[in-house]
Amino acid sequence: MRTVEISVGVFMLAGIFALILLALRVSGLSIQTAQSTYHVHAFFDHIGGLKVRSKVAISGVNVGRVVSISYDKTEMRAKVVMEIDSQVNNIPTDSTAAILTSGLLGEQYIGITLGGEEKTLQEGGEIWNTQPAQILEDLIGKFLKQSVKEVE
């Protein structure tokens, strides 16, 4: 009887531990030690549903995360600060940053398309060539307007 109780207790602890790890993964938090990173800024006309801790990817590979999102009064655009892994130190200064969506209605993240410039981004570097988020409601509205024009 005692063996059954102990094994049930161990099984319950393993289940609770698994749920904690799952919650950390889903929330974007991690229990990993901090790696060496550098910060890059990008300015967007519209950020859509982009959030802090969203991933930053190059060719689909996660290379960083969004640290902060704010409104820049001088540029009058959204300023997104990204934390990039220092091992990825070859991003050209003429690269393009776009807000993309995973799947049809998935989470939004920043995708960086590399440019051809030899000079690379350093700490505090800025990406000026950006593409805003595609807003699903805007796309539906454009489609409906086009459909109404065709009917008339």
Q: Is the pTM of this model over 0.75?
A: no
First-to-final CA distance of the chain: 80
Rg value, the chain, Cα: 21
For the residues of 33-71, what is the DSSP string, one character each? PPPPEEEEEEEES--TT--TT-EEEETTEEEEEEEEEEE
Other CB atoms within 10 A of residue 20 CB? 11
Reported as a single tens digit per residue, the pLDDT across 17-29 is 999 988 877 766 6
Which of the 8 DSSP states describes residue 108?
E
Strand 96-101 and strand 129-131: pairing?
A: parallel
33-76 per-position pLDDT tens digit: 457 889 999 999 888 888 898 889 999 889 999 999 999 999 89
